[in-house]
């Protein structure tokens, strides 16, 4: 289990396949701010709500200079189904070996109904134009989170 990122840290570089199998790197977004959010599983209620919220606010976010990338341990085929089923516009990336999730501190111990297990910690990292962590939010809620980010970023 890796350390959680802190504001000012260099955001770990990554290259992952998107829903169509194309490689996407964090460095592709150099010069723009990037909201990287980590979610447990495509096509589940909370993750669908969060992805739809980001999609509904994507124009507002991109207009303010932010790109949005969602990362989960799902395979590209499942991400494509998720995107198509929910008409998602955000970039969805596959991290089945959880290397990026781990590098960002978004994979680790979770508690649910008194049981402790390893899983994806719903997290959002805001990366600035220079590739540094501007904000690192962990254990966020799926519902209302996007509105909170927009408010906190002053958009």
Residue 47 falls in the annotated catalytic set: yes
Pairing of strands 123-127, 33-38: antiparallel
CB 133 within 8 A of CB 126: yes
Tell me which residue of 96, 152, 140 sits closest to 4, measured CA to CA.
140
What tokens does 151 get? 């408010």
CB 72 within 8 A of CB 49: no
Separation of alpha carbons 45 and 54, rounded Å: 14
Select which of 47, 51, 88, 100 is catalytic.
47
- Active-site residue set: 47
């Amino acid at each position: 289990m890796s350390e959680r990122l802190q504001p000012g840290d260099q955001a770990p570089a990554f290259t992952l396949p998107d829903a169509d199998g194309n490689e996407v790197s964090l460095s592709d977004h150099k010069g723009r701010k990037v909201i990287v959010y980590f979610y447990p599983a495509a096509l589940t209620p909370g993750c669908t709500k969060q992805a739809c919220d980001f999609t509904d606010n994507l124009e507002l976010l991109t207009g303010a200079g932010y790109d949005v990338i969602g990362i989960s341990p799902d395979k590209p085929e499942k991400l494509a189904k998720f995107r198509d089923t929910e008409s998602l516009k955000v970039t969805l990336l596959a991290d089945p070996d959880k290397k990026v999730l781990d590098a960002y501190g978004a994979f680790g111990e979770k508690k649910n109904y008194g049981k402790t297990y390893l899983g994806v910690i719903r997290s959002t990292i805001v990366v600035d134009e220079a590739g540094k962590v501007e904000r690192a939010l962990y254990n966020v809620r799926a519902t209302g989170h996007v509105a909170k980010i927009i408010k906190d970023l002053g958009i």
